[in-house]
Homo-oligomer: A and B are copies of this chain.
Amino acid sequence: MEKERIIEELEKLLKNHDLTALRRMLSDIQPVDLADIFEQVPEETRLVLFRILPKDLAADTFAEMDHDEQEQLLTNFTDQEVKNVLNEMYTDDAVDMLEEMPAGFVKRVLAKATPDTRADINALLKYPEGSAGAVMTTEYVSLKANMTISEALRWIRAHGDDREDVYTCYVTDANRRLNGVLTVREMLLCKRDAYVSELMEDNIISVKTTDDREVAAQQLARYDLNSLPVVDGEGRLVGIITVDDAIDVLQQETTEDFQKIAGTTPSEEPYLKTPAWKMAGHRIVWLLVLMISDMISGGILGSFEDALTALPVLITFIPMLTDTGGNAGSQSSTLVIRGLALHEIRVRDLPRVLWKEFRVAILCGSVLAAFNFVRLSIQYPGQQMVAVTVAVAMFFTVMMAKAIGGVLPIIATKLKMDPALMASPLITTIVDAASLLIYLNVAKALLNI
């Protein structure tokens, strides 16, 4: 509600041409909240409001907007405004934005930037999407080993304004090779005439430009860093990844895992912003593949047609058995997929996972089998063997499902495939066919049909 009230107030001030009050009001709002508000006002209002913002706030707000709104603003900006925004934005934010836009548009926009900015942005645009190089920024603080701490602090004071992170400083040699890391915290707490070389940490955690951005984000999170240095093949410092971007990467990668687990093609667009036809496209492939695979289950049922029509009550237990198998398998696969993503489980843990799932399956399978045996013995008093059949089938279904659910994601990882593909939808389909085979064979053997 809050946001709606602010928009009303803004529109009132705008109608009264009270630009001073408008500017004061806008200046009190955080960039990310302003971006949200700007997305909800009409296009013309957006441009007007944007032009009222102080320059710094304008650039920060612009960086927080969604790509659609950024593109609309860029199209309507004067050349000078495009130049300002590009020069004020951190390169990683600019790259993030331009990556999503048509190549011709990017070229026209970059033509308006200063040569330095253009060169910086073009360099970053070359890294493949999803790599550490593509999310890093070039605005870091680099110090020399022979500086004293006072000199270093003076350098930060002179150049820190346009650095995305000033708290972690990188010590490089004449060839830009990364030799050490020094935090402002340490500088503040030590003597001012000490040398950078004495204080710097030379045991450095870094990633390569070509490393996966998820690996970079996980390193940053694991070692509780403010920023992580990114080096090229020769160990030269080329950029840093900041903690706020690392959080975004982790959230996006997790969303991708959710999408894959749901059996849809991953996409970075938020749910409500994805057009229906596009969303249908993301979903139809897996629906089709799984539906075709389900024909195997249909075939199995077809080949047991005589048994099923001879004792039709057997049909009524099919949903319970196949669903429980699917659920038991999904539980295992989802937890193993998450464990793999967090590196709590590794490929070499396969035997441990199998042994754990085996014991869990015996416990869960026994409870579910016993429950069914008791219920069916009461419900169908004369047909003890039907109760035995369902109970036995249930036990082995759970055993099979948990083994498949626990093992397949690890095997996928081993084969360099994405473990998240081995999630509920696929597991359910495999387990369905397997549980029908178990059930109908047990029925044939025990009931002589």
Interface window among A98-106, A231-239, A360-368: A360-368
Residue pairs across A and B with Cβ atoms less than 8 A apart, 22 shown, are: A32-B222, A157-B189, A221-B244, A250-B251, A251-B342, A258-B261, A258-B337, A262-B334, A271-B338, A272-B349, A272-B352, A283-B364, A286-B331, A291-B323, A294-B324, A301-B319, A305-B313, A305-B316, A308-B315, A309-B312, A318-B319, A327-B425
Known: A291-B323, A327-B425, A429-B323. A316 touches B301 (CB 8 A): yes
- Cβ proximity bits A372-395 to B, threshold 8 Å, 1 near / 0 not: 100000000000000000000000
Tell me if A193 is interfacial: C-beta within 8 Å of chain B: no
> Considering only CB atoms, which chain B residue lies closest to A337 in the complex?
B258
Tell me if A224 is interfacial: C-beta within 8 Å of chain B: yes
**Cβ B288 vs Cβ A367 within 8 A:** yes
List 14 additional A-B contacts (Cβ < 8 Å) besides A160-B189, A297-B319. Answer: A153-B188, A157-B189, A250-B251, A255-B338, A255-B342, A258-B335, A258-B338, A263-B327, A263-B331, A277-B363, A284-B364, A308-B312, A323-B428, A330-B424
Chain B residues near A185 (CB-CB < 8 A): 160, 166-167
Tell me if A215 is interfacial: C-beta within 8 Å of chain B: no
**Cβ B363 vs Cβ A324 within 8 A:** no
The total of chain A residues at the interface (CB under 8 A) is 106
Known: A160-B185, A189-B161, A261-B261. A32 touches B302 (CB 8 A): no
Complex: how many Å from CA A299 to CA B312?
12
Chain B residues near A261 (CB-CB < 8 A): 258, 261, 334
Q: Of residues 135 to 161 in A, which have CB atoms within 8 Å of B's CB atoms?
A: 153, 156-157, 160-161
Chain A, interface SS category: helix
Chain B residues near A286 (CB-CB < 8 A): 327, 331
Complex: how many Å from CA A127 to CA B372?
44
Q: Of residues 73 to 114 in A, which have CB atoms within 8 Å of B's CB atoms?
A: none
Complex: how many Å from CA A439 to CA B197?
76
Complex: how many Å from CA A363 to CA B276?
9
Q: Of residues 279 to 294 in A, which have CB atoms within 8 Å of B's CB atoms?
A: 279-280, 283-284, 286-288, 290-291, 294
